[in-house]
Each structure stands twice: as C-alpha cells, then as structure tokens.
Amino acid sequence: MKKSLLALVAGVMVLGSGVADAKTLKFQISSKSGDWAHNYLTENWKQLEVVTEGSLKMDVLPTKAVVPHRETIDAVANGILDGDMNAIAYFAGRDPAFAIMGDLIAGYDTPDQYQEYCMHGGGKEMLQKIYDSLMPGKIKVLGCGPYGKEAFVSTVPIRGVADLKGLKLRSPEGLAADVFRRAGASPSSIPFSEVYTSLEKGIVDAADASVYINNHASGFHKIAKYPLYPGIHSMANLQTIINKRVWDKMSASEKAAMESLTYSIWASKLRDSRLEGLDQVAKDKAAGDLTIINWSTEERKKFREIAVESWNAFAAKSPLAKEALESNLSYMRKIGLLD
C-alpha cells in the first residue's frame, strides 16, 4: 500500500513537471484580432495541447502583435517569435522568389490545386530552399497553402480589365502589384488590418483583401458594395514556419503533431471558408444590398495573359525566382493546367 502511494505521488510529480515545462509557441499570423481567420486558427490550434498531452500549446497572435507584418521572418529567425502563419508575398522585397511563391496570380484554377502543390507537389520544398539560401539554418518550413480564392472588395463596379485602369487599389506587394500595375491600376501595399479605413476614407477604391467570409467578418460589405466573387486573380499563399532551434528541440512525437496539424488545419480552413463563404454569398444576393460581380471567361483570359507577362518578368530577377516559377509550372503541367 505504501509502495503504491509513493508510486502515485511520483506519478503526479512527473505529470506536474510536464505541465510546468509545457512550451507555449507564439506564432504571429497575417489576420487582425477578431476576424474570421484569427478566430478559426485560435480555436483549431487548441488541438496541439491535446495531441501532445500538454507538452505544447499554441498562442495565435494577430498581425502586428509583436512585430510589423513584413518583419515576422526576421523575428522567427532570431527567436523573438517561435513561428508565423503569414502571407509569403509580404517578403517579396527580400527576393522575387517570395513573390512567385506568395501568389502566382491567375495561375491556379482552384485552392485545392494550390494546396496540393504546396504540400505534395514541391512547393514546401521550394520554400524551404529559399529560406535555406537567405537565412541558412534559421527556419523550418512546416507547410504552405491558400485558404480560399480571394474575393475582391470594391466601392465601384469592376466588370472587366478595362475598369482596372486608373483604379486605386490595395494589393500585396510584389507579383500581385506588378500584375495590377500592368493592367493600368494604381496598387499600394496596405496591411489587411488597415483595409477597412482605407476604403472608408477613399484612399483606395478597391482591395485585393481576403476570402469572401473573412471580408464579410471584417465588415467590408458595409462600405464596399461591389464585391467580385469569385476573385479575378489567384489566391494568397500562406506559410507555416518555425524557428529551427525550437524545432530541433522538439521530440519526434511533437514534430509529428506540428506537421499533421499544420496540414489538417489548413485543409479544414480551406473547406470551411469556402462553405461559409458560399452561404454568405447566397444571403447577400437574397438581401439585394450588394452587387456581386463575376467576371466572364473572356475577361479572366485577358487578365491571365497580363499575369503571364509578370510571371516571366519576376522569374528573370533572381535564380531563386526562376527556380520557384519552374517549380510551379512543373506541377501545373503535371495536372494539365499547362501544355
């Protein structure tokens, strides 16, 4: 009996020690506090504590919580953040390869294709090569992928390529901005958290913002009455990265939990954002307050032709960018998107 009691006490002490030593991972994302994406990731990453039996927890921090949105990769590399789930295009100024990997504008037909490329078609490995070249030994790539085809929000009707001429719009920097500039628009890089006020004050007429349900949750429908759905370009590619030293200290089971949850949570986010978006589109159409615009096949083709010019121009800017484009094109050929 005494032995059993001692064993029980020892077990409790070990358990208590494990909880006390639990590591809370601080990951900063690209969405602001309270929007659909932030709420979704916060809730779903609670699974990490469950599957690791309390050894790891996830603190999903909104954009700018610790550092500006373009500085998260430096913060991760230096251990200020444990990781990020951020838009890859934000780092296009570091190397054009980030622009190619961040959103191959008008390239993929569906978010599923893009996610498959990232997780199974060479995308994750290409992104890792970029980090190994620019920040050797600092960052581990866990995954990447979109969570939906983005829906444009606009205060004015945009029914085709011609309507982009002279339009003031918010766009991620890099490839996306270049495509819109070639189409005649005047793009500016504004953080997602500032899109609402920029539209409200007339700083921009339209915004390449986020998926439909996230735009609705952010209240854009109150001031931008002419959304484009589905969006007219491709979709933002978001990464999940972690500090390499933090990663190396994890146990095999903790690493497996991080990798499997990275994949499963992004897949479910892609699915749920689409389904909730479709429900919201139906409600908005029934209410009649918004004019939801869907570009014709001909107008989408015109826009794609402009985008291809930009792909090639960006690929020529660096060896990594050239390799990144070929990585995407190789997968596209494989699934029949390109000849």
125: tokens are 């490995």
As a whole number of angstroms, the distance between CA 324 and CA 95 comes to 11
Cβ(169)–Cβ(185) below 8 Å: yes
State how far the Cα of 222 lies from the Cα of 195, in Å rounded to an integer.
13
Residue 119 to residue 156: CA distance in whole angstroms: 37
Whether residue 166 lies inside any domain: the answer is yes
Is 14 a domain residue? no
Residue 10 covered by a domain: no
**266 and 292 co-located in one domain:** no
219 three-class SS: coil
Cross-strand bridge partners of residue 206: 154, 169
For residues 119 and 230, membership in a common domain is answered with no
Say if residue 297 is in the same domain as residue 210: yes
36 assigned to some structural domain: yes
What pLDDT score does 21 carry?
Answer: 67
Same-domain pairing of 28 and 117: yes
Q: Does residue 320 share a domain with residue 242?
A: no
**pLDDT score, position 14:** 38
Three-state DSSP class for 40? helix
- Domain housing 54: 24-147+236-276
Residue 339 in domain: no
Report how far residue 306's alpha carbon sits from residue 277's, in angstroms, rounded to the nearest whole number: 28
Q: N- to C-terminal Cα distance for the chain?
A: 75
Residues 254 and 224 in one domain: no
CA distance 114 to 312: 19
Instruction: Name the token pair of 190.
Output: 């504004």
Boundary of a domain, candidates 256, 276, 296: 276
CB within 8 Å of 101: residues ≥ 6 apart: 88, 123, 126, 127, 130, 144, 237, 324, 328
Residues 178 and 100 in one domain: no
Q: How far apart are CA 322 and CA 311, in angstroms?
A: 9
The answer on 136 and 91 residing in a single domain is yes
Centroid of chain to Cα 286: 30
Single pTM value for the model: 0.80
> Residue 198 belongs to a domain with what CATH number?
3.40.190.170
pLDDT value at residue 66:
97
Predicted pLDDT at 108:
86
Do 118 and 196 lie in a common domain?
no
Q: What is the pLDDT of residue 132?
A: 98
Asked if residue 86 lies in contact with residue 238, where contact means CB atoms within 8 angstroms, the answer is yes
Structural domain contains residue 321: yes
> Would residue 250 count as lying in a domain?
yes
pLDDT of residue 301: 85
Residues 292 and 171 in one domain: yes
Could you tell me the CA-to-CA distances from 124 to 39, 55, 143, 305 in Å, in that order?
25, 26, 6, 27
* pLDDT in the model for residue 2: 40
Residue 248 maps to a domain: yes
* Spatial CB neighbours of 334, under 8 Å, sequence gap ≥ 6: 121
Number of domains observed in the structure of the chain: 2
pLDDT tens per residue, the chain (339 residues)?
Answer: 444 433 433 343 333 334 446 799 999 999 889 888 899 999 999 999 999 999 999 999 999 999 999 999 999 999 999 999 999 989 988 999 999 999 888 888 888 999 999 999 999 999 999 999 999 999 999 999 987 888 889 999 999 999 999 999 998 777 888 999 999 999 998 887 889 999 999 999 999 888 888 889 889 999 999 999 888 877 889 999 999 999 999 999 999 999 999 999 989 998 898 898 889 999 999 999 999 999 998 898 888 889 989 999 999 999 999 999 999 999 999 998 877
